[in-house]
Amino acid sequence: MAGQVHILVGTKKGAFIFDGSPERTEWALRGPYCETWPMNHVIADRHTGVIYAGGGNEWFGPAVWKSDDLGKSWTHSSEGLKYPEGETPIKAVWSLSAQNGHLYAGVEPAGLFVSEDKGESWTHLDGLRKHPSRADWQPGGAGLILHAIQRHPDDARKIWIGISTAGVFYTEDGGQSWTPRNKGTRMDYAPEGQRYPEFGQCVHSITMAAGNPDRLYQQNHCGMYRSDDGGRNWESIEAGLPSTFGFPSAAHPADPDTLYLLPLNGDSIGRFMPDGSAAVYRTRDAGKSWEALRNGLPQENAYFGVLRQAMATDRRSPAGVYFGTSSGSLYVSNDEGDSWHAVAHHLPTVLSVEIIES
Amino acid sequence: MAQGILKNAMPVRVTVSLPAPLVRLFPGSCEKVELEADCIHSLLGELDRRWPGMADRLSDSSPAIRKHINIFVEGRRARLDTPLKPDMQVTILTAMSGG
């Protein structure tokens, strides 16, 4: 029997959890949790069921919150989550990844920390901040944030991270040394002749294809890309999309050729749904072609955006697809994106959406 | 801005008021505390000894009191190196912040 699906939602004012019926048609909302701190990323360790929420509070600084009981009770810690004296202090946690007993946290200003004790304490992996390109990293609109962490499913030492706007970096020694992996991704806002640099691109999200760790998809500020060699080379797959601009990307849980995107109208004309008409875009052929999925989504006056970590898929068949909007709505599809229904309309700004199945 | 840390003074007993949003983060803490410290930095250390993690909520790695936290000693805004005298009133407040 299929387990229960829970939607973990990070918002500008706390974490929320939706408990779903087995059919994924009825949803009950709980929250807000984490004392209504801004929660940039709420995730679950799929093997232990522990929920982690990373964020930062204007008064009290950064912390990772933890719940061992599906959100009923929470603790928090930032022990070790700090840079050496004299450096700019950490403002917030932006991304989390729990896998194989290692919990990683990406922070602002960009850096990566690891916890080996389920978030009780943290160790800085300083190889990234010692990278020779570090002095030239530029902050994006949300700051100099490490917002994407992708882990190799079988090798804990191999990690891809995304920093706005330093680009994608890769390690295969657990974070001691890093190499940029941005070849083929464009930087439209650089002078002509300098638009394919080694680093500095504005990655918005990275997602790994099911069962194929060498295949990565990337939504960038400037285009949509696929890599079939672990990020060494990226190929544009934006033909057929309504714009080159968007934030999240979500891979199908079983089919490496299927991917979901939420293109916005562009980076300088509002960053909302093209023509005010909402659509999720799906490819079933690894980006060669795209189809707009609109059934159940608002088709007029939809002036919302969807942020970089605010779309996810579950592991069921047919796959569920979920996204939350900047205007506080949460949409769910239980049929691979063919149809959608709203399960909430008045949440705070949604910053992240993740799924846990219990 | 980094704030110097006073060392080697004698700890004295002071009364500390904690803001409600901070107390809610640390079960078992309370809004009025008596403790011994020689400066604000050591006061935060004593709070942290009682409620692990509390110092990080009030100060950052600069080291400095967090930007949106105000600590007043006898009504005057303090820094980490502000010295304490016996029976002083220390008030920790959250500043106007957010949206």
Q: Does B57 touch chain A (CB under 8 A)?
A: yes
Note whether residue B2 is domain-resident: no
- Residue partners of B32: CB distance under 8 A and separation at least 6: B15, B16, B17, B18
Confidence grade of residue A100 (pLDDT, cut at 50, 70, 90): confident
Whether residues B24 and A85 touch (CB distance < 8 A) is answered with no
Q: Which long-range contacts (CB under 8 A, 24 or more apart) does A167-173 make?
A: A167/A199, A167/A200, A167/A201, A167/A202, A167/A203, A168/A201, A168/A203, A168/A206, A168/A218, A168/A231, A169/A128, A169/A131, A169/A199, A170/A230, A170/A231, A171/A127, A171/A128
Please give the residue that has the higher pLDDT: either B97 or B53: B53
Least confident of A214-218, A319-323, B2-6: B2-6
Q: Does B27 touch chain A (CB under 8 A)?
A: no
Whether residues A89 and B60 touch (CB distance < 8 A) is answered with yes
What domain count does chain B have? Answer: 1
Whether residues A77 and B57 touch (CB distance < 8 A) is answered with no
Residue of A nearest to B20 (CA): A35
Note whether residue B81 is domain-resident: yes
A:B CB pairs within 8 Å: 53
State the Cα torsion A181-A186-A187-A190 to the nearest 10°: 110
pLDDT given at position B6: 56
Element (H, E) at B25: helix B20-25
Element (H, E) at B46: helix B40-50
In the numeric block, the tokens 């996204």 are attached to A323
pLDDT, tens digit, for every residue of A230-249?
Answer: 999 999 999 999 999 999 99
Q: Distance, in angstroms, between A63 CA and closest chain B CA?
A: 9
- Which 8-state DSSP code applies to residue B42? H
Question: Closest Cα partner for A264 from A244, A250, A283, A282?
Answer: A244
Tell me whether residue B86 is exposed, middle or buried, using C-beta atoms within 10 angstroms of its C-beta: 0 to 12, 13 to 18, 19 or more.
exposed
Which chain B residues contact residue A63 at CB under 8 A?
56-57
Whether residues B2 and A86 touch (CB distance < 8 A) is answered with yes
pTM: 0.96
Confidence grade of residue A3 (pLDDT, cut at 50, 70, 90): confident
Whether residues A60 and B66 touch (CB distance < 8 A) is answered with yes
Q: Is the pLDDT of residue A1 over 50?
A: no
CATH, residue B74: 3.10.20.30
Which chain A residues contact residue B61 at CB under 8 A?
82-85, 87, 89-90
Note whether residue B5 is domain-resident: no
Host domain of residue B70: 12-94
Q: Is the pLDDT of residue B8 over 60?
A: no
Note whether residue B23 is domain-resident: yes
ipTM: 0.92
Whether residues B53 and A76 touch (CB distance < 8 A) is answered with yes
> What's the mean pLDDT in A262-271?
94
Mean pLDDT rounded to a whole number for chain A: 96
pLDDT, tens digit, for every residue of A10-58?
Answer: 999 999 999 999 899 999 999 999 999 999 999 999 999 999 999 999 9
Residue of B nearest to A62 (CA): B57
Disruptive mutation site among A36, A59, A76, A107 for chain B (greatest number of B CBs within 10 Å): A59
pLDDT given at position A87: 94
Disruptive mutation site among B18, B22, B23, B25 for chain A (greatest number of A CBs within 10 Å): B25
| Partner residues linked to A162 by β-bridges | A148, A168
Confidence grade of residue A61 (pLDDT, cut at 50, 70, 90): very high
Residue A17 CA to residue A34 CA, distance in Å, equals 12
Q: Measured between CB atoms, which of B53, B60, B62 is closest to A77?
A: B53
Confidence grade of residue B1 (pLDDT, cut at 50, 70, 90): low
Q: Is the pLDDT of residue B72 over 50?
A: yes
Residue type, A119: G
Q: Measured between CB atoms, which of B25, B53, B61 is closest to A79?
A: B53
Q: Does B91 touch chain A (CB under 8 A)?
A: no
Chain A: residues touching B (Cβ < 8 Å): 35, 58-61, 63, 76-79, 81-87, 89-90
pLDDT given at position A59: 96
Note whether residue B4 is domain-resident: no
Whether residues A60 and B57 touch (CB distance < 8 A) is answered with yes
> What's the mean pLDDT in A178-207?
96
> Helix (H, G, I), strand (E, B), or coil: what is residue B54?
helix
Note whether residue B3 is domain-resident: no
The fold of the A5-357 domain, in CATH, is: Methylamine Dehydrogenase; Chain H (2.130.10)
Residue type, A231: G
pLDDT given at position B12: 96
pLDDT given at position A229: 98
Which chain B residues contact residue A85 at CB under 8 A?
2, 61-63
> Helix (H, G, I), strand (E, B), or coil: what is residue A229?
coil
Give the total residue count for chain A.
358
Element (H, E) at A208: strand A203-209
DSSP string, A44-75: E-TTT--EEEEEEETTTEEEEEEESSTTSS-E
Confidence grade of residue B4 (pLDDT, cut at 50, 70, 90): low
Note whether residue B19 is domain-resident: yes
pLDDT given at position A121: 98
In the numeric block, the tokens 């194929």 are attached to A212
pLDDT given at position B96: 82
Whether residues B21 and A35 touch (CB distance < 8 A) is answered with yes
Element (H, E) at B22: helix B20-25
pLDDT given at position B97: 72
Q: Does B49 touch chain A (CB under 8 A)?
A: no
Note whether residue B72 is domain-resident: yes
Which chain B residues contact residue A11 at CB under 8 A?
none
